[in-house]
Structure 1
């Protein structure tokens, strides 16, 4: 009988441990975060730079966003981190191509993937998105993060400091997941530029202390 109890105890203990090789779950629910795995380029082949389909230098000026992804200590660059971004088009909608599949049907075709280089750097170029028609939400760019050993999770959206819809009340509701996502654009002639550094684990629920 004692042997049976011991076997039952060990079986129960094992069943409560994370399976070998599985990512630790952090960040809470994240609808649509699985889209980070839909990159047309294998994850280990992704570049640190992404040019979204709407980026062009004829007509409306594009925006270029760059930054460094830091580990939880806030100072060590984090290489090999995958970033997925998507946003609305110039009508404020997530418009997808006719042959769209997977999450592209919901997120639209203005999306891209990056993988930080050995210095933790990333960069993307696109057109500034437009706010949802008839809504009070400010214009934004969604971002999902996937770092080694952890599941994918979302961080604060990219927002624009000069957006009249970004009110004081809106700012107070921000969680600052991954640090502030509010951008201050600079006109550099042929485009606008801004910088956002990302801090892994900052304000992320269940984030491990040993990352």
Structure 2
């Protein structure tokens, strides 16, 4: 049975994909460079590939650089990533970043790439067979002098698709998260509003993520 690409354009694409895999060492990157584009414009989403660890070797749990218990009560946020059919989604990469406790995206002096814009408080996770993810960090502050509520940005990279953003993590008890702002949320990937519970030495919250929910151009074959 002939399983070769049917035309020269496809053959060229396959050769480029193979070369890209060899150069990057990541099977999560190269095939999806040519995948159907979903999610619309996404400035800075390519920062997901700046992980210091190859994407396929990421753990499902990460502690962001700012996390500490010394005089602080950090956040622990976890959840499950689900496919559109309701089953847990394995192999999904999550990239998160946020402001520091002063509301600024502060980067290290030797920062490169998108770290210069996103700051150094960022991290990467990859779901296992159970779709689970978890991260620890300190609660970010809102932008100084702005009305935007405090938030944590998140980019998703699922197998077979390009990277795209979903709704930011927001905090239900944030006075800046007004009723009007709640109504305007797109709920990409489901609601990003997290209710925090005081667990003594830290605050805990949960957010489940639903792949394809309210994501433009999401393939019907995955729904």
TM (norm. structure 2) is 0.86
Equivalent position of 1:132 in the other structure: 143
SS of the residue aligned with 1:166? coil
Does 1:47 find its partner at 2:77? no
C-alpha separation between the residues in 2 aligned to 1:35 and 1:48? 18
Shift of 1:15: 6.6
Q: For residues 203 and 130 of structure 2, what CA distance do their matches in structure 1 show? A: 23
Offset from partner CA, 1:124-166 (integer Å, 9 cap, x none)? 0000000000000000000000000100000000000000000
Shift of 1:88: 0.1
Q: Deviations over 1:16-38 (max 9, x none)?
A: 9xx55422200000000000000
In the TM superposition, 1:109-188 aligns within 5 A as 109-188=120-199
Q: Segments of 4+ in structure 1 off by > 3 A?
A: none
CA distance in structure 2 between the partners assigned to 1:59 and 1:152 by the alignment: 37
Following superposition of structure 1 onto structure 2, how do residues 77-92 of structure 1 map, counting pairs within 5 Å? 77-92=88-103
C-alpha distance in 1, partners of 2:88/2:101? 34
Question: Which of the numbers 45, 69, 77 marks the counterpart of 1:33?
Answer: 45
Residues of 2 paired with 1:157 and 1:43: CA distance?
21
Deviation at 1:173, TM superposition (A): 1.0
Q: Tell me the SS of whatever aligns to 1:122.
A: strand
Higher Cα Rg, which structure: 1
Partner of 2:18: none
Query: What is the SS of the residue equivalent to 1:96?
Result: coil
Does residue 56 in structure 1 map to residue 68 in structure 2?
yes
Tell me, what secondary structure is at the counterpart of 1:50? Answer: strand
Residue ranges of structure 1 left out of the alignment (5+ in a row): 1-9
1:78-126 C-alpha deviation (Å, 9 max, x unpaired):
0000000000001100000000000000000000000001100000000
| Aligned counterparts of 1:123 and 1:209: Cα–Cα separation in 2 | 29
TM-score, L = length of structure 1: 0.90
Aligned residues: CA RMSD: 1.7
- Between the two proteins, the alignment pairs up a number of residues equal to 198
